[in-house]
Chains A and B, each alone.
Chain A
Amino acid sequence: MTKRNLVITVILVLAATLISVFYLRGRTQSPRGSLNICYEDKEISVEPFTLSLSEVKGTVVNGKGEEKEISAKGVSVMDVLSLAGIENGDFAYVRAVSSDEYAAELLAQEVADDGIAFLIRDSSDGSKKVGGLSIRLVVFGDSNSKRQVKDVVRIEVVK
């Protein structure tokens, strides 16, 4: 039984290694401080923080009901989409995807409205990306922190 268990383990580890090689090789890595916008089968790389930054201030609430003050420089998601030539009305919703593939959806109305969805520089995980250039999605008005996405690497625009 032990031998059979060992064989199963080795097979599964090898299969996971093989698939991880395929996955990591096929993965498009955005440069630090930039993200990819996927729109109509195209992938456009943009640098959100080359736009003029505005003050992002407000309060977000996590799942436990604890409030956290946000005060940072950032840009609205709509402004970032406009860098890729996408206008309001071109899409139904967008998905902000992090490096570990966690994703949050934002409706077109939420993206278009002022004061709801922003991208800010995240210094909290500076260890991951030198200079704290990782990008964080902040969504105001939610009752939990599910859409506060850390290390955003891609925005998928869906019609």
Chain B
Amino acid sequence: MALCCDFGLFSKKLVSPAANLITDFLHIPGGVATSFSLMFLVIAASLIPVFGCAAVMGAIQSMLALFFGMTGSMGILAPIGYILPGLVIDLIFFLSRKITGDSAPGIMPAMILSSVAACLTATIIVFRLRGLVLLLYVLVSAASGSLCGLLAVSLSCRLKPIIFYHSEVKA
């Protein structure tokens, strides 16, 4: 969880220059780098079957972001932008585990909906977008969320046997 927290926070800074090429071209305020950053929260939450783990990671990320001054345009309200997508991830995995008994089917919806939640939170707090530009912002977030979702599904499937093997060995 701690590793995914850090990866999520700092990967955003790393991929931002490349992501900005897309968002600058489309004249929207972001959405691509956020989805990539949320992927690490989704991977961790898919491997740890505890409700609230993504929200806790989001809260820790927001504290780190405040500490390092990486809050972007949200400023002091940044924790909302980190915790809300975390809650959405938790909710999707809770439902996925309840309905199918497994977290894997929830990875894709968790990625898409958490990306959309993050972009809507940013819209409400900072950007106040309307109309077509808001629709485009939401769709770009959802599309990049689904692309990262494909990666998250693959990474989660590869990590699951390793993590469960180590926890069984310890037990």
Residues of A that sit less than 8 Å from B by CB: 1-2, 5-6, 8-9, 12-13, 15-16, 19-20, 22-24, 26-27, 63-64, 99-103, 128, 144, 146
Contacts and interface: CB of A to CB of B under 8 A. Distances in A.
A126 to B, nearest CB: 14
| B interface, over-half SS | helix
A12 B26 contact: no
Contacts of A15: 139, 143
B150 interface: yes
B28 interface: yes
Given A6-B150, A9-B143, A20 B23 contact: no
Interface residues of B, number: 33
A6 B146 CA distance: 9
Nearest to B78: A63
A23 B23 CA distance: 13
B143 A16 contact: yes
Given A13-B147, A103-B127, A20 B26 contact: yes
Nearest to B28: A100
Contacts of B143: 9, 12-13, 15-16
A16 B128 contact: no
A138 B38 CA distance: 33
Contacts of A13: 143, 146-147
Interface string B136-150: 100110110011011
| A interface, over-half SS | helix
A19 B150 contact: no
B139 A12 contact: yes
Nearest to A4: B108
A24 B73 contact: no
B104 A5 contact: no
Contacts of B101: none
B16 interface: no
A64 B139 CA distance: 32
Contacts of B126: 102, 146
Contact of B75 (A2, A6, A146): A146
B82 to A, nearest CB: 16
A63 B139 contact: no
B132 interface: yes
Interface string B55-99: 000000000000001010101100000000000000000000000
B168 interface: no
A13 B112 CA distance: 12
Given A23-B132, A23-B133, A63-B69, A99 B75 contact: no
A101 B26 CA distance: 10
